[in-house]
Amino acid sequence: MSFVYDAWHLDTTPGAPSQTFSPPHGWEGDDVNYLDWLRSQFKSNHCFRQRLGSAARSLKMHSPVKIDGPFSDTLISALNSINKQKKSRVI
C-alpha cells in the first residue's frame, strides 16, 4: 500500500498512514514524550528534517496548513520554536 504525502495536512495521531509527524501505530506517550520523539526523528532522519522545515516555513508564511491529532499543540509549539531559531543567511 502506498500513500501520497499531503504537505497541507499534518496529523499527529499515532499510526496515521503516511504522516511524517505521526508516531508509529501503538505508540503511547504524553506531550513530553511526543516532543522527545520529534527530536529523535529530527536527529536520525534527513527526510523528517526537510518536512519539519517545510512545515515550519508554511506556518510562518501563514499558509493554509491543517494540523490535527492529539499532539497538534505540541507540534505547533515546536514549529514556532524552529521559526524563532532560524536566521536568514545570505549566500
Q: Which domain holds residue 25?
A: 9-82
Q: Average pLDDT in the 19-34 region?
A: 94
Asked if residue 56 is part of any domain, the answer here is: yes
Q: Assess if residue 87 is contained within a domain.
A: no
Is residue 47 situated within a structural domain? Answer: yes
**Cell triple for 15:** 499510526
Q: Does the predicted TM-score (pTM) go above 0.95?
A: no
- Tell whether 67 is covered by a domain: yes
Per-residue burial over 42-81, b if 16 or more Cβ lie within 10 Å, else e, is eeeeeebeebbeebbebbeeeeebebebebbebbbebbee
Flag whether pLDDT at 8 surpasses 70: yes
Q: Which three cell numbers stand for residue 85?
A: 531559531
Domain count along the chain: 1
What CA–CA distance (Å, rounded) separates 82 from 56?
7
Share of the chain above pLDDT 70, in %: 88
Instruction: Classify residue 91: in a domain, yes or no.
Output: no
Residue in the structure block whose three cell numbers are 543567511: 89
Give the per-residue pLDDT at 4: 64
Residue 44 domain-assigned (yes or no): yes
Confidence band (pLDDT; 50, 70, 90) for 91?
Answer: very low
pLDDT at 59 over 80: yes
State the DSSP string of 71-88: THHHHHHHHHHHHHH---
Question: Considering only 26-35, 39-48, 55-64, 71-80, which range has the smallest mean pLDDT?
Answer: 55-64
